[in-house]
Chains A and B, each alone.
Chain A
């Protein structure tokens, strides 16, 4: 069974700092890897999706990398802002096709960016 682990569980940084969130998964046979953001009382918002054939994806100040062989992904946030404060979830897509695909989530990293 695929297990996804995120480190650290919580992180507090001053505004403007660059930071890295870590995600590891036990089964390298993932289809894709996705990073989400979750704000209190709101649903999940997809940030970046890295296909298994890719090594990284970028969107604005966010950059996510994927190393399937080592079972790791990182989310890099540049020049952090208070509005980045949220829980960041890593999720691995596993499955063999058809309706069999599922998202397996980590527990998340709670990020606080202090002004």
Chain B
């Protein structure tokens, strides 16, 4: 595709529900990142994949958060038993190479805005 796409764009969940957020990276991009952006804040790193391998999940705030990328392309971020503090925009980004580091440009998707009531 032309860029990184995310779905759904908006999600309203009742507290305690499970949600799944999808990210379609740019075709051929090896590295994939998830970020959480609370209202009025900058994005915060959640997790990083290189192909299907989750190399860094140090930013996941709790064990209710789980991410996967089983075939090395599409990724899903799952949040179990959602809480009000999970309300945020969840951004996905991809980059071409394997370093996942500052030498490569990250391309961001439009984000999924999650509201937990």
Contacts and interface: CB of A to CB of B under 8 A. Distances in A.
Interface of A: 4, 31-32, 34, 41-46, 49, 51, 89, 91, 93, 95, 97, 99-108
A32 to B, nearest CB: 4
B109 A101 contact: no
Contacts of A107: 40-42
Given A106-B42, A107-B42, A108-B42, A93 B102 contact: yes
Contacts of B17: none
Interface of B: 4, 40-45, 48, 50, 55-56, 59, 91, 93, 99-102, 105-111
A44 B91 contact: yes
A41 to B, nearest CB: 6
Q: Is the interface of B mostly helix, strand, loop or mixed?
A: loop
A99 B105 contact: no
Contacts of A51: 102
Contact of A100 (B56, B91, B106): B56
Contacts of B106: 46, 103
A51 B93 CA distance: 21
Nearest to A41: B110
A105 B4 CA distance: 20
Given A105-B44, A107-B40, A49 B102 contact: yes
Q: Which of A43, A51, A104 has the most CB of B within 10 A?
A: A43
A102 B105 CA distance: 13
Nearest to A51: B102
A89 B100 CA distance: 20
Given A43-B4, A43-B91, A46-B106, A101 B100 contact: yes
